[in-house]
Amino acid sequence: MLEIKKNITIAPHTSIKIGGPALYFAKITDPADLIKLFKKIKTSRLPFVIIGGLSNLLFDSRGFKGWIIKIDIQEITQKNNQFIVGAGAILSNLIQAATLGGYGGLHRLIGIPGTVGGAIRGNAGRNNTQISDFLTSIRIFDAQKNKFFNLDPKDCRFQYRSSLFSGNPHHVIIQAVFSLEKKQKQITQKEIEEIIKITRDKPYNHYPSAGSIFKNISLKSIPDKEKRKTLLQSFIQKQKPEKPQSITAIPAGFLIESAGLKGAQINQAQISPQHGNIIINLGRASSSDVLRLIELAKEKVKQAWNIELEEEIIIIKSAF
Ligand SMILES: Cc1cc2nc3c(=O)[nH]c(=O)nc-3n(C[C@H](O)[C@H](O)[C@H](O)COP(=O)(O)OP(=O)(O)OC[C@H]3O[C@@H](n4cnc5c(N)ncnc54)[C@H](O)[C@@H]3O)c2cc1C
Q: Which residue among 48, 55, 140, 316 has the greatest number of ligand 1 atoms within 8 angstroms of its CB, and so is best to mutate?
A: 55
Instruction: Find out whether the beta carbon of 19 lies less than 6 Å from any atom of ligand 1.
Output: no
For the domain made up of 76-187, give the CATH fold.
Answer: 3.30.465
| 102: Cβ contacts below 8 Å, ≥ 6 apart | 182, 183, 184, 185
Q: How much is the pLDDT for 279?
A: 98
Name the class of domain 203-315: alpha beta
pLDDT tens-digit readout, 94-134: 999 999 999 999 999 999 999 999 999 999 999 899 999 99
Domain ranges of the chain: 3-71, 76-187, 203-315
Residue bearing the CA closest to ligand 1, atom 21: 119
For the domain made up of 3-71, give the CATH fold.
Answer: 3.30.43
pLDDT tens-digit readout, 269-280: 999 999 999 999
pTM: predicted TM-score of the whole model, two decimal places: 0.96
Instruction: Find out whether the beta carbon of 34 lies less than 6 Å from any atom of ligand 1.
Output: no
Q: Which residue among 37, 121, 141 has the greatest number of ligand 1 atoms within 8 angstroms of its CB, and so is best to mutate?
A: 121
